[in-house]
Amino acid sequence: MLWKPTYETRILIDVAFPRLVGLTLDSQDGAAPVEGAMLGAFGPFASAELGVWRRLLNEAFPERAVPTVLVRTAWSERERRTIATATAPKEKAWTLLANDPQNAWSQLVAPDRAERAFAAVVRGGVAQLLMVGLPTEEAWDQFLAELNK
C-alpha cells in the first residue's frame, strides 16, 4: 500500500476583506466581497477547484447563482478576453475580475499555490467562514451549516 498524505481544507473565521472593484465578464461594474456564498481565486489556474465548489453549491442550491471573484493586482484586456472565452455564458454575469493593487486579499487568504481556490460565507463584508482549497466532507458540512444560518 502506498502512503498518501492526508488533506485538510484550511478554514479561517471572521476574515474582513477590503472592498475591491472590477468588471464582470459581461462588462458590468462590480465589487467584492459579495454577500452570501462567494467563490474566489487568484487567477485562471484555479478553475478545477472552482469547478468542484461550483458543482457542490449548484447541487445544494440550484436556484442560486454563485458569485465568483478572480483577484489580481490588475487585469489586462487580453487576460479578461481569455477568461471570458473559457467561462460558460451563464456564469459571465456572476464572475468578477477584481483589481487588488496592494495584494490584500492574497495576504489574507494566503493560498499555497496558484491553483488554489477559496469559498466564503460573507455577511456584512466579513467572511464568517473562509475555506481555502477543496472541501473535505466535514468542511463541506460546516460550509453548508454556516450558509444556512
pLDDT in tens, 80-134: 999 999 999 999 999 999 999 999 999 999 999 889 999 999 999 999 999 999 9
Please state, in angstroms and rounded to a whole number, the distance separating the CA atoms of residues 95 and 26. Answer: 8
* C-alpha span between 9 and 121 (Å, rounded): 15
- Tell me the domain boundaries of the chain: 10-147
C-alpha–C-alpha distance, residues 131 and 110, integer Å:
11
Q: How confident is the model at residue 44 (pLDDT cuts 50, 70, 90)?
A: confident
Cell numbers placing 27? 462588462
CA 78 to centroid of chain Cα atoms:
21
Q: Does residue 29 contact residue 62 with C-beta atoms inside 8 Å?
A: no
The β-bridge partners of 71 are 98
CATH H superfamily, domain 10-147: Glutaredoxin (3.40.30.10)
pLDDT at 45: 87
Residue 4 predicted with pLDDT over 90: no
Q: What is the dihedral of CA 81, 37, 132, 22, to 10 degrees?
A: 30
Q: 93: which 3 cell numbers?
A: 454575469
Tell me the C-alpha distance between 34 and 62, whole Å. Answer: 18
State the average pLDDT for the chain: 93
Q: What phi, psi does 106 have (nearest 5°)? A: -60, -40
DSSP secondary structure string, 72-83? ES---HHHHHHH
pLDDT at 43: 84
Going by C-alpha positions, the residue among 42, 37, 52 that lies closest to residue 120 is 37
91 φψ region: left (φ > 0), alpha (ψ -120 to 50), beta (else): alpha
How many CB atoms within 10 Å of residue 85?
Answer: 8
